[in-house]
Structure 1
Amino acid sequence: MGFLKGILRRFGILFKLHKADYVFIHREALPVGPPIIEWIIAKVLGKKIIYDFDDAIWLPNTSKENRIVGWIKWHSKTASISRWSYKVSCGNDYLASFAKQYNSRVVVNPTTIDTVHHHNPELYAKHTSDRITVGWTGSHSTLKYLDDIVPVLQQLEKKYGDTFQFLVIANRKPELAIRNLAFIPWVEKTEIEDLIKVDIGIMPLTDDVWAKGKCGFKALQYMALQIPAVIAPVGVNIKIVDSGVNGFLCSTPDEWFNAIDRLIQDKSLRHDMGIKGRKKIEENYSVISNSSTVRSLFE
C-alpha cells in the first residue's frame, strides 16, 4: 500500500510542474516500470529534464533483496530518459560514455562532498585509541565486496592481535570470520562521528562493468575526513587516489596487506596521506570546487 501511494504521489507531482523551467531527475521517477512520467514531462509538458545518475543503472544488477521486482525494473529506460533529456549529469567518465550514445549534452558531475559543514574533521573530537582501526562503510548490498579482503584482514589480525580492529559501519551486521570485528549501525545523524573512529579506510571492489560505474563515494568520504584510503583500482577510483601519495591502489592480496600494514606501522604516513587526501577532495570533489559544474546543468 505504501508503494502504491508513493506512485500516486509521484504522478501527482506532474500537476505541479507548470511553473517549472527544469525538472531534475535522479536515476528515475519510479523504481519500476517504463519511464512513463519522464515521457510525460518531456513530450507532453515540454519541460527540460536534467537527468542525473551515479551508477551503471542500465545494467541488470538484481540482488537477493530485490530479486522479486528485478524483472520489472525496466533497466532499458536509462537510455530513453537520456535521449529525452535537455542535459545528462553523470558521476564519472564511464557513465558519461553510455549517456553520450543518446545525448550530446552530457556533463561529468562527480560525487560531491561538503567539506565545510559535514565531512570536516575539525568539527569533531579527535579519535584516540591504542588500537588501529581499519574501517569500511556502505550498505548491505555492497557487503559482498568484503569477502575477498577477509583473508588479508585475518592475516593482519594474526600479526597485530588485539591492537587491530576491523570496523564495519552499515545498515546490516556482516558475518565475517574476523575475531576483532566491530559493528556500528549506520545512522545519518552520527555518520561522520562514527567514521572519524577509522584510522585506515578500505574500499575493495570486483573489477566488473557494474563496479566501473561506481563513483568512489567511500574513498571520497575517507579522504575528506583525512583518513588514508586503501582502495581497488576500479573505475573512477584511479582518478581519486594518487597511489603512494594520498592513499594506495591495491589489486592483489599482497598489495592490500602491504599497504595496510605499512599504514598501521607508520603514524606519520597516515597523517601525511590524510592531509594530502583531504586537499585532493577540496580541490576536485567538494561543493566549492564543483559548484560551477552543477550550475552549468541549468544553462
Structure 2
Amino acid sequence: MQSAHQHRKKTQVGNRIFGWAADEGGCRYYRISLPLNALQVNGYDTHHHTVMPRAYNAWDVMVGQRISNPGPSERWQHLARQGRHKLVYELDDDLFNVDASSTIAYRFFSQLAVQDRMRQNIVAADCVTVSTEPLAERIRVYNPNVEVCPNYVPAWLLDHTPPQRQDGIITIGWGGSPTHSMDFAEVGPQLRRFLERNPQAEFHAVGTDYASWMRLPKDRCRFTPWIPGVETFFRTLDFHIAIAPLRPHVFNQSKSDVKVKEAAALGIPIVASDVGPYRTSVQHGVTGFLVKRDHEWAKYLRMLVEDEAMRKEMGAAGREWARSQTMEGNISVWEKVLCA
C-alpha cells in the first residue's frame, strides 16, 4: 500500500518541528517531549502541545501522535492534501491489538471506525515512527516508510539516587498506567505467596494500585497514586528491586523495553518476564533476572532481597549499560528521521 506522500510534491524539510501530542502521559514524554526537547538543545526550533497551533503552516515537520479521533483526523488529512509539511505519524503501541483487559483503551481502539481512521492517517503520512521492530513490521502493511526510534531515558536519571528505605525493609516495586492487568495476572499468585513468606519485603505500586488488584497482603503494600509529570514520577520510585511482568500476547510483542531502561538508569536490579522486549535488554544474572517459569519469581526475588551486595552489583551493571540508552546520547536517531 502506497502512502499519500508518494503522490504529491514534497516540500524541502526545514528545522521547525511541531509535535502534536495525544495526551499528557508517558507516551508524550518519551515519544514527543523528550526527543523534541533534545533536538531543541541541538539547535532545532521545536514545540509540542496537545493542540494544533493555528499558525500550523509555520512548521516544516508535523509529528502527529496516534491521531485517531474524527476532528484531528480531518486536520491531518487536510495537511496531507496540502503537501506543505513533512508528516510523521507517531505510534508507540500496537493499538490494533489492545487486549480486552485494558478496558478503557480496548473500548476505544477496538472500534472499527477508530481503526479505520488510524490506518488512513498512517497511509497519509510521509513516514511513521515506532519504538520497536515488531511494531514496525505490523505497520509496514499500511505505510512502507516506518522508522524505528527506540525509547530512551533522560541522562539525569543516571545521577539520581532513589530514596530507598534504610530500615531493613526491602521494597519491590512497579510503576505505570492501568493497562497491565493481563501482565499482573501472570505474577499475582507468586508475588502474594512471596510476601506472605518473606516479612522483610514489601510491594510498592506507583500509578496504578495493582497490589489491591492482586489481593496482596495490605500491611505489606504501599500505593502512590499517579503523579502529574513524568520526571516527578521518576523521583517517586524508591524501589530496591523492580519487577516487570509481561504476558506472552500479540500486543506485548510490540512493547518496548522502557521499564528495563528506567530501572537500569536508576541503578535498580530488575526481575522481568522472559518475554519480547525484555529478553534482549535484561542481562540475566548481570543486571537482573529473566523469569521463564512461574516459581522463578519467588526464587529470584528472594535472592535479591537477601543479598544486598548482589543488588548493588546488579544495579551498578544496569546503570553502566543504561549510559548507552539515553536520549541525549542517541538524539541522532530522531534527527535522521525528523530533520532529513
Deviations along 1:116-168, whole A, 9 cap, x unmatched?
2xx2453555642311111111112324422321222123223322x110111
RMSD between superposed Cα atoms in Å: 2.7
Structure 1 portions without partners, runs of 5+: 1-5
2-structure distance, mates of 1:56, 1:226: 29
> Which amino acid in 2 is paired with 1:245?
V
- What secondary structure sits across from 2:275 in the alignment? coil
> Which amino acid in 2 is paired with 1:53?
L
2-structure distance, mates of 1:107, 1:148: 32
Which residue is equivalent to 2:82? 44
Distance 1:68 1:207, change over 3 A: closer
2-structure distance, mates of 1:67, 1:107: 26
**Given the two structures, how large is their TM-score scaled by the length of structure 2?**
0.75
Where do 1:13-32 residues align within 5 Å? 13=52, 15-28=54-67, 30-31=68-69
Cα distance, 1:14 vs structure 2? 6.9
Cα distance, 1:84 vs structure 2? 2.2
- What secondary structure sits across from 1:177 in the alignment? coil
Where do 1:183-202 residues align within 5 Å? 183-188=223-228, 190-195=232-237, 197-202=238-243
Cα distance, 1:271 vs structure 2? 0.9
Structure 2 portions without partners, runs of 5+: 1-22, 24-48
State the identity %: 22
2-structure distance, mates of 1:11, 1:290: 25
- What secondary structure sits across from 2:246 in the alignment? coil
Which residue is equivalent to 1:209? 250
How many pairs does the alignment contain?
Answer: 285
2-structure distance, mates of 1:11, 1:121: 30
- What secondary structure sits across from 1:288 in the alignment? coil
**Given the alignment of the two structures, is residue 87 of structure 1 paired with residue 127 of structure 2, yes or no?**
yes
Contact 1:31 1:73 in 2 (8 A): no
> Which amino acid in 1 is paired with 2:57?
H
> Which amino acid in 2 is paired with 1:21?
D
1-structure distance, mates of 2:51, 2:164: 47
**Given the two structures, how large is their TM-score scaled by the length of structure 1?**
0.85
Where do 1:48-127 residues align within 5 Å? 48-61=86-99, 63-65=102-104, 69=108, 70-71=110-111, 74-116=114-156, 119-122=157-160, 125=163, 127=165
Which residue is equivalent to 2:260? 219
2-structure distance, mates of 1:207, 1:122: 33
**Given the alignment of the two structures, is residue 135 of structure 1 paired with residue 176 of structure 2, yes or no?**
no
Contact 2:158 2:319 in 1 (8 A): no
